[in-house]
Amino acid sequence: MSEARAYTPRGRTVREGMPRPQRPADEPRPRRTPAGSGSASRGDRPALRVLDGGRQDERRGSGRGRGTGARERDRDDARDTVPAPRRKAARNTAAARSRPAPIRKPRHPRRPPKLGDPGRRLRVASLLAMVMLATVGVRLVVLQFGDTPEWARKGLNDRLQVVTLPAARGAIYDQNGAVLAHSVEARYIAVDPEVVKDANQTASLLAPILGLSKSELLDRMQKRIRPDGRPSRFEWLARAVSTSDAKKVEALELPEIVIGRDEKREWPGRDLAANLIGFTGNEMNGLEGIEARYDELLRGVNGERRFEVGKYVDGTDLAKEIPGGYSQQTPAKDGSSLTLTIDRDMQYEAQRIIGEQMAKVDASIGAAVVLDARTGEVYAQVSYPTYDPVEFAKADPEDRQDVASAVVVDPGSVHKALIYGAALEEGVITPDTILQVGPTIRKGGVTFRDTHPHPEGTRITMAGALAYSSNVAAIQVADQLGPEKVVEYQKRFGLGQSVNEGVAGEASGKVLEAGEWSGSGYGSVPIGHSVDATLLQMAAAYGAIANDGVYVQPHLIKDTIAPDGTVTPNTDVKTHQVISAKSARELRTLLESVMVIPDGSGKDARVNGYRVAGKTGTSSRLAEGAYLPGEVASFIGMAPAENPRFVVAVFAHTPKGGGGAVAGPAFKEIMGFALRHFKVPPSSTEPPEFKVFP
């Protein structure tokens, strides 16, 4: 069957049914042999071969076996049967066959396309993916740790609203827990200038409620640019507004007005101890007095709340907190409170007495100190004039100073007690020493006189010398001590250095060193001139005499109270021995003579029922290195003299007047109230009898 040709259902051979191979485009198409031509390879079709049963092949084969002549006859026969045009074509074909075929260059066969390498494609794709992932990773790192967080913060800052959470300022109490100064809840009133539509109308509505002028409110409502270039969205209008006034503002329903929690400092006693306590500013920061000295302790640390808000856009108020947005809160740390050694009732009474007495003597300034002789606690410290801290701006700055600790004066004759104490301690004198005095004494070309002059050569006791405040006797005692010892004991008694009581603005005074004394200094220093001291310093010196020769630092702070209620007592109180207890007792007895001797200088300072020891003084006031007109009258004493509990010091700068007449009556009233208020029993013994002239 290899040579057989089978029919297909449509009469075609199997070979014909197969797709024809595509001929290359540059290969010349074969010419068809005309029908009836003798060429079997060109004229025969497969179908005809099948139909004639292969006879054509047989004939082709038989023709090959015949001779040349027979083949020529066949051609002649065929020529006779072919029309003329065909014969011509046949001749041309025959001629073409007889010509040799042109020699063609062998064509190189086309190479098949090279197939791709899957492994190589996978490696390249993996490399590209890794590069892309690395780039994304690097970018993420840059976004996370590079400049992008800063950009994000800047964007967040544009949307942040910061609200201060004020820390409650600590209170100030007296020694019994009575409030001297404290903070109460209040409100602040502020404005958002970017929201203001009618500033004139808003100012007109707020002015009568806030107590501010309309022009001032208009100025605060002006639009402003902050240092960072953004418009201001918050400007203060009023601070420490009462809650009742804040409700009136809130009722106006002004969209541009901001109301928030604030603090208001109150002083229930108003001018009670105002010169001592001081006051605060709008930011609840201490400006003067104890409020300033202990500002860091009292103020605490404000907290704050930061949160995202929208904006005010096209008349729509979106400046509200964004739910779920950024929010952070730092809680406030409240300040600690202070308990003072001041007794409110004692302070009030002393302040009342000084005010009345200073008005009687036409004093420009005055002061009083009530000191616990054993502990150094200051129970009252009064200044004249005083002021109302609620309206501190209306007071003259000089009227706001604490006179007792800030004003420097020549102590005058109250300084003589220190000279006699040093002389007793050094053994220069005894309580029974007799001096010979005259009406005057001359030192460095300057004559010093006694206010109670005695003839030259008058013999006088130590008690008499103190009772009559003899300048001549005091200078003679100081001569026996020598300037070095005088200066030494001045410093021991606390002169020339700040007491460090606890109030701001305390003066230190000055003591002349022995080498700085001029010729007249040998006369002026012993009697309390050429010495700069405050009333508080002199009260502390007398406190050492009252406390058996032990100096105890005067102080105002009793303890501190932390926000959680923890109480810490003040233990930083310095003490030192100045003179012996024996010398202190002898000096106290001598000082009683000032009160006991009928015409002594302290007769106006006597307190009924109590033995009192003290000394009067008359001196001058220093200001900017120069003495001011007028006199400084003073009295410092202790009671009960046999076992002192309190030291009271009083002084006043008046046009004219001695210490006994001006300061004595005020001392008497203040000391009498202190002894009764603290229930000190009256003296059970009578004071000794003193002789002035032996």
Any idea which residues carry the catalytic annotation?
413
- The 8-class DSSP code of residue 629 comes to S
d(CA 524, CA 235): 61
Pull the structure tokens for residue 10.
Answer: 């449509």
Helices (H) and strands (E) in the chain, counts: 25, 27
DSSP string, 182-222: EEEEEEEEEE-TTT-S-HHHHHHHHHHHHT--HHHHHHHTS
- The 8-class DSSP code of residue 451 comes to S
The radius of gyration computed from the CA coordinates of the chain, to the nearest angstrom, equals: 60
- Give the CA diameter of the chain: 205
CA distances from 602 to 152, 454, 593, 613, 663 (A): 80, 19, 9, 9, 10
DSSP string, 50-117: HHTTTHHHHHHHHHHHS-HHHHHHHHHHHHHHS-HHHHHHHHHHHHHHHSPPPPPPPPPPPPPPPPP-
User: How would you label 306-319 residue by residue, b for 16+ Cβ within 10 Å and e otherwise?
Assistant: ebbeeebeeeeeeb
Comparing CA positions, the residue from 452, 273, 470 lying closest to residue 380 is 273
Burial of 161 per CB tally in 10 Å (0-12, 13-18, 19+): middle
Burial of 645 per CB tally in 10 Å (0-12, 13-18, 19+): middle
Are 198 and 214 a contacting pair, CB within 8 Å?
A: no
**Pairing mode, if any, of strands 626-627 and 575-577?**
unpaired
d(CA 505, CA 400): 11
